[in-house]
Amino acid sequence: MRGFFITGTDTDAGKTWFMLKFGEFLLKHGCKFHFLKPVESGCWNNPSSLGGKKILFPKDAMLFSNLENVPLNKICKYMFKAYASPPRAAEMENKSIELEEILDFIETNINKDENCYNLVEGCGGLYSPIANNKLTSDLAIELNLPVILVVKNVLGCINHTLLSIQAIKKSGLNVKFIILNNINEETVLDNYNELSQFTNIPIIRLGFNQELDSTLLNYIN
């Protein structure tokens, strides 16, 4: 499988926002891609067209579905209401989720075109729980894809970034590049220069509500 595994330094680092911008970037440059977000927590209850019955609505995966123009069930399978780790959210609904099930879903739904980038989003950070007794790192190791690390550009992110890099390397994986993500319109403390002193991994800036720079093409092959 060709593609990338996208993880963050923490929850709400901006993985989904980056993936949407990455998808737009790939479209602009004529590249094929397929989103995979096998598990989403914090889903909304949304009245369906079937008699007002409430169904869970995975807002992030739906954005991916709309951008890629593929059915939602090709992107996301496991949807939970609680804004919590997937195994805890599943337990709150008297359900369970196993890593093997996630892997089966990914294997069934990947785009096998060698020219297509499969963009797989994990949950939270690398050591966030994703299934019963399993961490996001366990999923990343099984997929063995190059990792894109999304970093929230705030005070403390250097520590979080370097620890995440160390954890990724310990898992036998490689960080392809780092996305330094400005989650606010005004960034009080820009960490680009200081972070660059401590790693040779390419760092790509993603400004607030901005597009990815075309130089990213140098790092995706």
pLDDT tens digits along 116-164? 999 999 999 999 999 999 999 999 999 999 999 999 999 999 999 999 9
**Residue 218 contacts by C-beta under 8 Å, 6 or more apart in sequence?**
none
pLDDT at 162: 98
Dihedral over Cα of 25, 28, 31, 34: its sign: positive
pLDDT recorded at residue 55: 74
Contacts of 75 (CB under 8 A, 6+ apart): 35, 36, 37, 61, 64, 65, 68, 109
Q: pLDDT value at position 188?
A: 73
Q: 15, 28, 32, 37: which is the annotated catalytic residue?
A: 37
pLDDT at 209: 86
Q: Which residue is associated with the tokens 């995966």?
A: 61
Annotate 93-104 with b (16+ C-beta within 10 A) or e (fewer).
Answer: eeeebebebbbe
Residues 46, 187 contacting (CB under 8 angstroms):
no
User: Hey, CA dihedral for 18, 173, 2, 132, is it positive or negative?
Assistant: negative
Please state the rounded mean pLDDT for residues 174-188.
89
CB 94 within 8 A of CB 79: no
Q: Is 37 a catalytic residue?
A: yes
CA dihedral 99, 23, 75, 61 (to 10 degrees): 90
